[in-house]
Amino acid sequence: MEQYTTLSSVQQDIKAGKLHLGQLVDGFLQRIEETKHLNAFVEVYGEEAKAQAESINAKILNGTGGKLAGMVVGIKDLICYEGHTVSAGSRIIENYKSIFSSTVVERLLAEDAIIIGRQNCDEFAMGGSNENSYFGAVKNAADNTKVPGGSSGGSAVAVQAGLCMASLGTDTGGSVRQPAAFCGVVGLKPTYGRVSRHGIIAYASSFDQVGPIANSVEDAALLLEVIAGHDDFDSTSSQEVVPEYSKQLSFEGKKRIAYLPETLESEGLDPEVKALTEKVIRQLKAEGHTVEPISFPYLDYVVPTYYILTMAEASSNLARYDGVHYGYRSPNAVDLESTYKKSRSEGFGAEVKRRIMLGTFVLSAGHYDAFYGKAQKVRRLIAEKTHAILEDHDFILLPTTPGPAFGIGEKTDDPVTMYLADIFTVQASLAGIPAISLPVGETQTKLPLGVQLIGKRFGEVELFAFSKYFLDVTKKE
Ligand code: GLN
């Protein structure tokens, strides 16, 4: 089976009679079977996908197919789909069946996408390696001893390994972009408020956004176009009109791009990542763009600020899993107090418990001002500085990650090292602005590497168009 990297090529081949959508779905289902060891999917909706393929194939042929007709997607196990189990990678809601669909799922289905299954992720999206899943670690398809990144690890591997055409992940502090970089695919975190969070299991509500992971900028743009837009069920979703991203992908002209010297001098930056970023800067300059260093003095503060705020929000969001309202209840509980304590102790994994405790601590009366209040103020400073850079520049360019995919088990004993690895992704999250990871290289040992572009608030049109061009330019050498 040919590996399709864009939906338009699938639609073309179906119209030309060279392909039936059922064949494509069967091909994915077979690949999923053959690559079970990667652990990318928690559950596969094989029969449903095959049935949908029949009717959507007919629609493509008679010209009534939606924008995503022929697109076979997977969804992170955090995105509610009516009648389907959604577990958030956790024992605490292992068997929870969703009674409604998230807005993003409704919008996918309305445009004739086929949802092939739900994908493994870190428990409640907390992690950067997909090792915190109740369903076990996910393996990077480029090297099975390496992590795929996280928390949307299953979603990135599924695209990398050809198990579906695209995925929907969620990105709170890098969970779409970082696994995209580790797996050699495209991943976008939209502007905060661009996509409805209705029906997305919450981690940190002032950060969470759904984002596409795909083989091409075209498909990522098309997916965002479909899922974005105001939703009455999410008051933080923006009223801003949704442009047709997929039709505005041509790029011309010269751009002003900032890079942050602190990122390239940062401790722990892998030499191959540094070399790649510098090479990309040279290539863009050679194309006539202005690419200049702009100091960002807050780099050391982005990780602590991000973790204080997200843990605080998580401790509040996860209070609902109490052994009463949802999911797992400990069989050893004897009264109300032990129902809470035992259900939560047995139902949550170690990382989630660590974050709930730290989040509760930073919000507690005696520590609120010193931690939570302070972090709110620092978030404002980081956001304002970032916006100021983007007033004079079209984009900020920086590595997506400090290094390539690391070994499974390598960082699990040291949560702080794991947190520090988020240093380049959390800036855009704190500022609420869009950022994309683009696969532009690999290490000598053939591990994928990504470079990240941060755009202006609601600047996804420019970001996509430039990204497409950027991938062409960086392929030249
Ligand atoms: N690695 C980050 C964290 O653990 C990002 C997670 C995410 O974006 N969901 O918080």
Ligand 1: residue of 90, 172, 303 to mutate (most ligand atoms within 8 A of CB) is 172
Which pLDDT tens digit goes with each residue over 149-173?
A: 999 999 999 999 999 999 999 999 9
Instruction: Give ∠ CA 175-179-185 in degrees, rounded to 5.
Output: 125
Q: How many domains does the chain have?
A: 1
Quickly count: other Cβ atoms within 10 Å of residue 3's Cβ. 9
Q: Cβ-count burial of 188 within 10 angstroms (0-12 exposed, 13-18 middle, 19+ buried)?
A: buried
Which residue's C-alpha comes closest to atom 4 of ligand 1? 127
Which pLDDT tens digit goes with each residue over 233-259?
A: 999 999 999 999 999 999 999 999 999
Residues 6+ apart with CB under 8 A from 369: none
Which range of residues forms the domain containing residue 402? 1-477
Place of tokens 């990204």: 467
- Interval between CA 173 and ligand 1 midpoint (Å): 5
CA distance 250 to 123: 39
Confidence of residue 30 (pLDDT cuts 50, 70, 90): very high
- Of 152, 175, 343, 467, the catalytic one is 175
- Interval between CA 127 and ligand 1 midpoint (Å): 5
Pocket residues: Cβ below 6 A from ligand 1? 125-128, 151, 171-175, 203, 310, 422
Query: Which tokens belong to 35?
Result: 């690559």
- Interval between CA 149 and ligand 1 midpoint (Å): 10
Does the structure show a pLDDT above 70 at 438?
yes
The domain that contains 423 carries what CATH number? Answer: 3.90.1300.10
Residues 6+ apart with CB under 8 A from 164: 28, 72, 73, 74, 116, 117, 158
Mean pLDDT of the chain: 97
348: helix, strand or coil: coil
| Virtual torsion, Cα 141, 158, 3, 438, nearest 10 deg | -80
Q: What percent of the chain has pLDDT over 90?
A: 98
Ligand 1: residue of 120, 122, 305, 351 to mutate (most ligand atoms within 8 A of CB) is 122
pTM for the structure as a whole: 0.98
pLDDT value at residue 409: 97
- Interval between CA 88 and ligand 1 midpoint (Å): 13
Residue 151 known to be catalytic: yes
Does the structure show a pLDDT above 70 at 1?
no
- Of 87, 102, 133, 151, the catalytic one is 151
Residues 6+ apart with CB under 8 A from 379: 305, 309, 430
